Copies of this chain bind each other. A is one copy, B any other.
């Protein structure tokens, strides 16, 4: 056991490389000075590629980006495509950024999500899922030379045909086949059943020329596992589907109707042998199959690798939605007058404790998750495997990155949904008008919650990895130790309830305790696969979810603390630190409040301390809202992208007949 921990400690030391190697990924190196605190905070929250972000925002001044609401789906689809195209043609970001500066791709998602959630969704499939897969699994002569430039310019549009109707939740069981025909040196791609249709495929129903089709590679009647095959699905120019390719439009959705989702099926579609994305596995002319990965299941995990960065893309877009909702809700709350002490309508609703109590926790959570996501971007970038410098053979590092990504995406998705829903509610009827944006953000958040992996399934994955590394990771061992009863007593008291270090200790102990309980339950199964499945899926679901959530929330808090304490890649001035401190404390204390019942029954918090939580949360809400202007403005969403009437002079907006549109409004 000691040897195990020693080896783990050695690995942990190596991990530091990835923590400190972040500057190579072109992240923040703060300039000498800012003209004010808001600018400084803005710089820290945006984190990277500041000039490129500004260029993208400026480009979106183009009238093409002005929101349109009462339009047909056909118009919405066309708009999303044109907007994405305009941005791509500017040449700010490239698929090859994955090798040198992947945060620029995430930044592009964040900026575009402000303007058009559908265009941003099309972007993430084009650049991350499709483009990233071609880049990572394809090879230079056969695939990169053919496609990379066209992907950047949107001249070659692609989709990622992984999910099947019947196997969206168990993709490794998918049924689509790619059978090697040695007589013609081709693969024959087939959809054997309705359940095997490729389902929900973004970009497929209108714009894609290409699809990376995931299929069971069958060679000489042997199933070699899931591989990606590049299939041309439409003629360039005419945009007619290729022979044997059937594409159905999915129809109306609760959001993102500018995304052309399709259902794809293949009937004896023949592609050349070179269509196999062959960086890991190759098929020779005579049908000999070679792979650097031994187990077929691992081949599947490898080909689906872009789902990991896809989750960062989604988390990035989700937080854009949350920031947008908070910007609009705060501005309206500060200009909307309602009853004051005199009975007259003379008091901005933001003055009410009700409004502050609703908005402040969302504001604090969004800002703190933003700091957490910045850290996850750095960690993923340092181990992304797109370039030799970012390849790691350290399993613990790889697993930690997986856990970070698979916990931040759920937290960001739910944050966007709750933030937009509650902001909508707190803006009343005005929040219901599409031009005030909340509906679109709610619809987008729902997409984010289950896209690139259902949030709850990703939490299962996080918890599973955590139990897997528990024996070998020093850091996990330390958290387990901190969660033991004798260690956890007196971590926090009424007087230290807003102390960030006490809160951090509490978060560590909470995670350790939960993980320990989960590990005990799993050990008690004896390890048989049926018993493990039964326990994990039918009995310990709450513990699994709770553990993953505690892991993610602790990582986010620690990332925020590193920012506050200048041990991260960002530097924070004392003045900004004073403003951020209650924000981060509120984030943490709201999590404690949500989990207070469990924390008290586990005696991680005494009843006396528990009673101090709600008053402290209320006080912090007031403190955070006293800085709302600075905090919200630090999101730096330009007026032409906010473009919501209630965020501006809504009395004037309502003095003319505009039919709920903003096309003729000056922002």
Contacts and interface: CB of A to CB of B under 8 A. Distances in A.
Given A352-B538, A539-B353, A654-B197, A428 B454 contact: yes
Contacts of A652: 194
A169 B343 CA distance: 11
A353 B541 contact: yes
Contacts of A539: 353
Interface stretch (A25-33, A132-140, A141-149, A607-615): A607-615
Nearest to A174: B345
Interface in A595-616: 596-601, 603, 607, 610-611, 613-614
A272 interface: no
Q: Of residues A435, A529, A545, A597, which shows the largest number of chain B Cβ atoms within 10 Å of its Cβ?
A: A597
Given A70-B251, A251-B658, A446-B425, A339 B541 contact: no
Interface stretch (A235-243, A277-285, A437-445): A437-445
Contacts of A168: 428-429
Interface residues of A, number: 101
A481 interface: no
Contact of A352 (B166, B250, B541): B541
A199 B199 CA distance: 42
A170 interface: yes
Given A251-B658, A597-B610, A658-B251, A537 B353 contact: yes
Contact of A252 (B165, B435, B530): B435
A287 interface: no
Q: Of residues A169, A251, A593, which shows the largest number of chain B Cβ atoms within 10 Å of its Cβ?
A: A251
A542 interface: yes
A613 B611 CA distance: 19
A341 interface: yes
A73 interface: yes
A657 interface: yes
Contact of A249 (B417, B542, B659): B659
A172 B339 CA distance: 10
B194 A341 contact: no
A633 interface: no
Q: Of residues A432, A438, A542, A655, which shows the largest number of chain B Cβ atoms within 10 Å of its Cβ?
A: A432
A357 B541 contact: yes
A166 B432 contact: no
A248 B600 CA distance: 55
A390 interface: no
A455 B421 CA distance: 14
Contact of A450 (B194, B254, B429): B429
Contacts of A217: none
22 contacts: A69-B251, A163-B429, A173-B339, A173-B343, A200-B429, A249-B659, A251-B434, A254-B440, A254-B442, A352-B537, A353-B537, A357-B542, A425-B446, A439-B443, A439-B446, A442-B446, A596-B597, A596-B601, A597-B610, A600-B610, A601-B613, A603-B607
- Give the 3 A-B CB pairs with smallest separation, nearest first: A251-B660, A254-B439, A596-B597
Interface of A: 69-70, 72-73, 163, 165-170, 172-173, 194-195, 197, 199-200, 248-255, 263, 336-341, 343-345, 349, 351-354, 357, 417, 421, 424-425, 428-429, 431-435, 438-440, 442-443, 446-447, 449-451, 454-456, 460, 529-530, 533-534, 537-542, 545, 593, 596-601, 603, 607, 610-611, 613-614, 618, 651-652, 654-655, 657-661
